[in-house]
Structure 1
């Protein structure tokens, strides 16, 4: 084993220097603005309510605005009812001239600019005045993370702009600002231009300094309290209210793939090293290519596991390391020859591909059988959706730890629900939605698997429960589920992948998504 560990770190550093510029150049030549369909539905019938499933939550923005354009929901003044463990109102990182600030997005570039991250997409929609009331229902299991929040809090919200003077270039700039007001709290802040993702929404200002453009209501309510309010307050949500319903799978719980790897002794640094290599091999440009790459690396892990097994005992099909590397290279080149996967690899240079595969295999051979199986379970994926504003095809494919494995993402509370807890949470969701008052015009559902938040073990059960619940309130005879084409592992999602992970052998090579 020692022979495979010598010089790996050094090789990683050398290959990074040699390949990064070429990979970046190749990636940039292929970079393109994501093209959005003019219509996602073949026929637009305003009276029919819709249900859409996406992978990452900020991808719902495309569907919200298309629904409004088709007359399914109004263009302004909506009530957004969200069931999620995250608020989605973090400050946006990118706010240049193409962002549709305080007006309806009229160009694809403007809509694309809004689709940034799952923690800020609600803020992006609010800045275009799409909704006037936001009711965020958060799960009781996440009470530790929201210890400072009571069961129900309501705020008057003002959003606008303020002037900022830059001492560096002696110029004034406009920054967005917001005010939260109720009987206990009255504060205004502007976006922190030095640190746009500052979760506290930046720098404190006076109410007079914020020039208000849009006004609305924010209600933050725990799930059990939401149930009580609907039972005791008749007018809390009205039947004629233009309602947009949005549900995230992490309403049921939250997982951490990084912790799952650490449980079997795979360190964060080791995960980073593997991610560094696979990110130089794969430059996926679609969820289909992403899924194929995950399948490919699953096969490589199977091959490495077999090779490792035969290092300690006689096997009829044993091979040396050179043959192992050649087998891996053949898997890659065979996949690239298929038209659907052409261009998914960062370089076409076989020498460089082989060098990267050698490093990857040497890293994998350091792991135990248990660790390899856990790595295969966690898998490999893009760091963000190909629709995201900051998507780039290079250096973005990695071990699928999601945002829970990113150093720049705030800590989250992890809660792996049991099957019984999933059933109980569904019962609570049904109690809230089945009161006869809630009648959403449009429904969006986010899986949040790639991001690492949703509990992967029960994601298929959660999705089936959510869909069964939703169809009871959106006229099941006239609604059909639309699955976004950029879903990780397609329509079947993690359920299909889970079955294949627990099935050894070449079945991974022949999957119809």
Structure 2
């Protein structure tokens, strides 16, 4: 090849390369321009899906740290079948009337599924709480809207308690709450001057149809910093223990089974919730089939090999440190299982199942931790004041439409949203939860048309992202 031809070929190659570089650069520029105009310019609003309602607190704290919501003076729109307005327990080290200074202090506030709102108010995050409740929920009076100023302080009666003074148009009443007492005796009246208050907030209660009307007024201001919090039990409540009572399973058997489970299974990882449920279903099936053909002792002895194999596969699931301790615990658990008939335990395995007693995020004093229990939720047949309501398909469609009418175009200042499933603690109808969650997320995402939404599923959801499914 002549030098001239070589130079021409080299020049053409460089020219083609230069054209490719120019075209690539132009495409990158156009991509960045498009991203800036059509994506980056849109606000991104996170939606966090949690299992138990107090698990929203870490996400609210993160939102403050990340600048998504203000440190104070935010408005909470709480859409729920329950008010969740119970005060937290003031354990040693609780950050009282100030923002938590450390992860340890934050953890102390994450206590129970009805204590998270007051925990956030005490931390100073919210100065206005709006509870929107469904029309199926019966209230003490016929008022569809109330607005109460609540002042908070603390009182010392052998230990510290949160005290509250509620002020409305007629009067001011003060009291403190002792959650250790029976439910009818927990609210203890006190004089106004006994409660040295440190903060206050507005608490508004509004029925859903009335809320639609109020959203059309200047109820919310243009500069409000809004957090929308939604519980799927807004659609309805089906107490998780109902299959047990429906099929006339003796509740004392359930209590005995839970007592036997406590020293036998000691879950340490979230995956142990699934593994514990599977182990118990499989073990119970073997025991209850075998007991029809042989004695209890023979049944227990024959299952020993399978149990040791399970123990070797995942020793962290079990409380025992050695084989002898394992077998002793197994003997007590197996005897509790063998009290059931095959049909009874089939109902438990399919309709109720086994799960953690509460989330690993829940603060438990004395270094306690959740155990594996029959997944009947927080309520029991002899200890509940919760109103039930199982929604029809038509009612669910109407409630979703009502929710969309309520929120669409009215919460443009929403900064973050949290959605609670309430399955493990036994409120949301389990057969409907996937459908209800889909409806709720769709309504929230469509409520602010100028923003993008990113949905985050918490790592501690019962059965993971997919949640409850029918067997």
TM, length-normalised to structure 2: 0.83
Aligned residues: 429
In the alignment, the residues of structure 2 paired with residue 430 and residue 327 of structure 1 have an alpha-carbon distance, to the nearest angstrom, of 58
For the residue of structure 1 that corresponds to 2:414, the secondary structure is: coil
Cα 1:304–1:467 change in 2 (3 A) is farther
Residue 307 (1) aligns with residue 283 (2): no
Q: Structure 1 residues 325, 165: CA separation in 2 closer, same or farther (over 3 Å shift)?
A: closer
TM superposition shift of 1:261: 0.4
* Stretch moving more, 247-256 or 435-444: 435-444
Deviation at residue 361 of structure 1 after TM alignment:
3.6
What residue in structure 2 maps to residue 35 of structure 1? none
What TM-score, normalized to structure 1? 0.76
Residue number in structure 2 paired with 1:448:
422
Q: 1:242 Cα shift?
A: 0.5
Q: How does 1:45-444 map to 2 (within 5 A)?
A: 47-93=43-89, 95-143=90-138, 146-148=139-141, 150-162=143-155, 164=156, 175-192=161-178, 195=180, 202-231=187-216, 234-307=217-290, 311=293, 324-325=299-300, 328-338=303-313, 341-377=314-350, 378-390=352-364, 396-405=371-380, 410-444=384-418
- Show the counterpart of 1:478: 452
Render the CA deviation track for 1:315-362: whole Å, top value 9, x for unaligned: xxxx87566435654554444444xx4412111333343344344344
Provide closer, same or farther for how the CA distance between residues 197 and 75 of structure 1 changes in structure 2, counting only shifts above 3 A.
farther
1:201 to partner: Cα distance: 6.3
Residue 91 of structure 1 contacts residue 201 of structure 1 at CA under 8 Å; is this kept in 2?
no
Residues 181-215 of structure 1: CA deviation (Å, up to 9, x unaligned): 111342112344x9478677633233333333212
Q: Structure 1 residues 87, 379: closer, same or farther in 2, change over 3 A?
A: same
Contact 1:88/1:122 (8 A) holds in 2: yes
**Is 424-433 or 349-358 further displaced after alignment?**
349-358
Offset at 1:66? 0.6
Question: Paired residue for 2:31?
Answer: none
Name stretches of at least 5 consecutive residues in structure 1 with no aligned partner.
1-44, 167-172, 312-318, 503-513
Q: Distance in 2 between matches of 1:424 and 1:331?
A: 51
Say if 1:177 and 1:190, in contact at 8 Å, map to a contact too.
yes
> 2: distance between equivalents of 1:207 and 1:492?
49
Q: Which has the larger radius of gyration?
A: 2
Moved more, 260-269 or 293-302: 293-302
Alpha carbons of structure 1 residues 149 and 174: separation in structure 2 relative to 1, 3 Å? farther
The residue that corresponds to 1:10 in the other structure is none
| Contact 1:282–1:394 (CA under 8 A) maintained in structure 2 | no
Distance 1:129 1:419, change over 3 A: same
RMSD of equivalent CA atoms: 2.8
